[in-house]
């Protein structure tokens, strides 16, 4: 048994498919015969040549569009790519360990990256990001040599990897994936959020998973207890067959809620909206009878392409989504780039701390060639449907005001072209950094609505990067400081007469529902697969009890105390539904 952290609830049994994570793709990991070694050498030389050609093109493009100093980023990466010691270690790993080239590249480059990340010298630490970037670029070149952007995932496979970035996950054949197992990541990483939105069980933080699990192994993934069984005996398989049946039964018990309102015990009806990542997700939102789309993340459309989607491409899928949900509202968020959300065709300068680098609306305001086509697509959809525009990672009032200026410019352009749009389309601010939360009352005067994004807010308030396993214990959504900040945002929005929705992962956990309602939130937006459990929690909550719960929680001094408090309030039936680790006799291995 291997232990990790359950990041997407559910259990799954299937055959392992081990992949190595590339720059914008994933590649399979397998054992090879001695007769294949020379062929792997030739593949490596071809991949290096392909990656080098891509770097030369990027270097030239960036030099022309941005400047010579920025272009040198790719010059440094070319030096890494041609490093003889790296090449020798990759080839030696192939020969000695008899694993395919992709696995060797991943292992050797990871070793180099870790050694540089731990260096005291700042220059050497910067080199770590270059090495990691080159690693991903070589793996992508190998995938392209095979004639596809990613491996063909067998139907019903359980994908096992060292890590899965959002861009890589988006390119997998997600319909074929039964579960995910990763060495890195945590409950609040972007790949985990995607897994929950898909309703796919996932366990992250499983040390050595890609080495201990081989392609073809029979494995069980328990996304509730956070454990993975490799080639389990029949008694464990039977136990999990029973558990899977129990989970299915609990979901079926909630199906009657689909057509019922999300109304509290004392008669207050609350909008329950859906978070979606792509057009097909709107179908799930529709089937679960969502009151609308509270957050349409548009990054998926960008990550699955090798170049920026055109205005027409964006308009087409957004119009289809709006048509499906009409007349219910949709909130389209502008593409949130920067931080850990990187595009291979949109190079950004390396940063020692990507979470604090330029991102969100500030980045878009400096790249109007990205911002304006998306705004044009949004506004054209607004001609026929009740959509709103959400600005990501707003830091202060100037972000909102500058964005409004660009919106007016785009509106003038559309008017001149005779293309219809809603001139009063609402423009909202995403509250996900402390400065925006503290300025919520002022921001609400310039923004038409506010949306509370707790995923990033928690990491910035507590100085705990949600993508970094070392800080995972400090990433505590129920920390009293977070709760007090949420309450201040609620009060700021209310005083300005603005709507406020919460669309972060906190909203999707029924354990948090009563507490959030007690803090004053009245509009929740969650992944479609979480809607019924959250609706069930709403329908079993009395607002006065919720307010008392929030008052008690705000007086506590630690996240553990708040968690104990909300667990005490949870009905026993909910505790059984969440489950616990089944009986087994396995070891950590």
Confidence of residue 577 (pLDDT cuts 50, 70, 90): very low
Range list of H helices, 326-396: 360-365, 368-382
DSSP assignment of 386-419, as one string? -EEEEESS--SHHHHHHHHHHHHHHHHHHHHHT-
**From 21, 190, 479, 512, active-site residue:** 190
Q: Is 21 assigned a catalytic role?
A: no
pLDDT at 589: 38
Residues 6 or more apart whose Cβ sits within 8 Å of residue 36: 100
The residue to which tokens 């609308």 are assigned: 292
pLDDT surpassing 90 at residue 361:
yes
Span 447-479, pLDDT tens digits: 999 999 999 999 999 998 877 777 888 999 999
Span 86-116, pLDDT tens digits: 889 999 989 888 888 887 887 788 777 777 7
Residues 6 or more apart whose Cβ sits within 8 Å of residue 553: 478, 480, 483, 515, 518, 562, 565, 566
Q: Is 385 assigned a catalytic role?
A: no
User: What are the structural domain ranges in the chain?
Assistant: 29-145, 157-252, 260-578
Which one has a higher pLDDT value, 251 or 32?
32
Residues 6 or more apart whose Cβ sits within 8 Å of residue 263: 269, 270, 538, 539
Residue 561 CA to residue 343 CA, distance in Å, equals 40
Classified by CATH at the fold level, domain 260-578 comes out as: TIM Barrel (3.20.20)
In the chain, what percentage of residues exceed pLDDT 70?
A: 89
Span 204-250, pLDDT tens digits: 989 989 889 988 999 999 988 889 999 998 878 888 887 777 777 76
**From 21, 385, 479, 503, active-site residue:** 503
Q: CATH second-level architecture of 157-252?
A: 3-Layer(bba) Sandwich (3.50)
- CA dihedral over 57, 60, 66, 68, signed as positive or negative: positive
pLDDT at 33: 86
Q: What is the largest CA-CA distance in the chain?
A: 73
pLDDT at 572: 47
pLDDT at 582: 44
Span 18-64, pLDDT tens digits: 887 654 455 667 788 888 889 988 989 888 998 888 888 878 877 77
Span 184-209, pLDDT tens digits: 887 777 678 778 877 889 999 899 89
pLDDT at 30: 77
Confidence of residue 586 (pLDDT cuts 50, 70, 90): very low
CATH code given to domain 29-145: 1.10.274.10
pLDDT at 521: 98
Q: Is the peptide bond before 327 cis (omega within 30 degrees of 0)?
A: yes
């Amino acid at each position: 048994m291997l232990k990790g952290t359950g990041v997407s609830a559910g259990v799954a049994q299937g055959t392992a498919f081990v992949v190595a994570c590339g720059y914008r793709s994933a590649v399979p990991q397998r054992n090879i015969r001695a007769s294949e070694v020379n062929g792997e050498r030739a593949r490596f030389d071809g991949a290096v040549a392909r990656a080098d050609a891509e770097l030369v093109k990027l270097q030239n493009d960036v030099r022309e569009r941005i400047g010579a100093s920025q272009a040198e980023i790719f010059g440094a990466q070319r030096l890494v790519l041609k490093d003889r010691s790296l090449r020798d270690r990759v080839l030696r790993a192939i020969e000695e360990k008899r694993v395919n080239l992709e696995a060797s590249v991943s292992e050797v480059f990871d070793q180099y990256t870790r050694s540089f990340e731990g260096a005291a010298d700042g220059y050497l630490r910067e080199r770590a990001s270059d090495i990691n970037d080159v690693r991903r670029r070589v793996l992508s070149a190998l995938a392209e040599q095979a004639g596809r952007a990613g491996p063909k995932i067998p139907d019903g496979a359980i994908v096992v990897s060292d890590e899965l970035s959002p861009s890589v996950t988006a390119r997998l054949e997600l319909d074929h994936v039964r579960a995910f197992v990763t060495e890195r990541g945590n409950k609040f990483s972007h790949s985990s959020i995607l897994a929950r939105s898909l309703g796919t069980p996932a366990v992250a933080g499983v040390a050595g998973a890609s080495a201990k699990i081989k392609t073809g192994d029979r494995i069980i993934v328990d996304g509730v207890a956070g454990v993975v069984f490799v080639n389990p005996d029949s008694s464990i398989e039977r136990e999990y067959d029973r558990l899977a049946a129990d989970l299915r039964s609990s979901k079926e018990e909630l199906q009657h809620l689909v057509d019922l309102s999300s109304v509290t015990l004392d008669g207050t009806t609350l909008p329950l909206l859906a978070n979606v990542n792509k057009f097909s997700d709107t179908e799930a939102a529709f089937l679960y009878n969502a009151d609308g789309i509270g957050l349409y993340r548009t990054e998926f459309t960008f990550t699955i392409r090798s170049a920026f989607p055109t205005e027409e491409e964006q308009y087409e899928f957004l119009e289809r989504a709006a048509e499906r949900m009409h007349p219910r509202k949709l909130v389209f968020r502008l593409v949130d780039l920067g931080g850990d959300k990187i595009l291979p065709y949109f190079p950004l300068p390396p940063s020692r701390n990507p979470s604090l680098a330029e991102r969100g609306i500030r980045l878009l305001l400096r790249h109007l060639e990205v911002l304006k086509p998306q705004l044009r697509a949004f506004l054209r959809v607004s001609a026929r449907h009740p959509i709103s525009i959400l600005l990501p990672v707003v830091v202060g009032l100037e972000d909102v005001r500058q964005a409004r200026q660009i919106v007016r410019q785009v509106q003038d352009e559309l008017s001149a072209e005779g293309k219809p749009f809603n001139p009063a389309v609402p423009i909202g601010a995403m509250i996900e950094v402390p400065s925006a939360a503290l300025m919520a009352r002022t921001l609400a005067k310039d923004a038409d609505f506010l949306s509370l994004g707790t995923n990033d807010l928690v990491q910035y308030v507590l100085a705990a990067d949600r993508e970094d396993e070392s800080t995972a214990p400090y990433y505590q959504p129920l920390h009293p400081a977070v709760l007090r900040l949420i309450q201040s945002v609620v009060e700021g929005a209310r005083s300005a007469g603005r709507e406020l929705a919460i669309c972060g992962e906190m909203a999707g956990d029924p354990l948090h529902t009563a507490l959030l309602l007690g803090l004053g939130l009245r509009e929740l937006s969650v992944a479609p697969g979480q809607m019924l459990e959250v609706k069930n929690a709403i329908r079993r909550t009395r607002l006065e009890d919720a307010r008392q719960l929030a008052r008690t929680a705000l007086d506590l001094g630690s996240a553990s105390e708040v968690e104990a408090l909300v667990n005490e309030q949870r009905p026993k039936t909910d505790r059984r539904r969440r489950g616990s680790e089944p009986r087994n006799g396995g070891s950590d291995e």
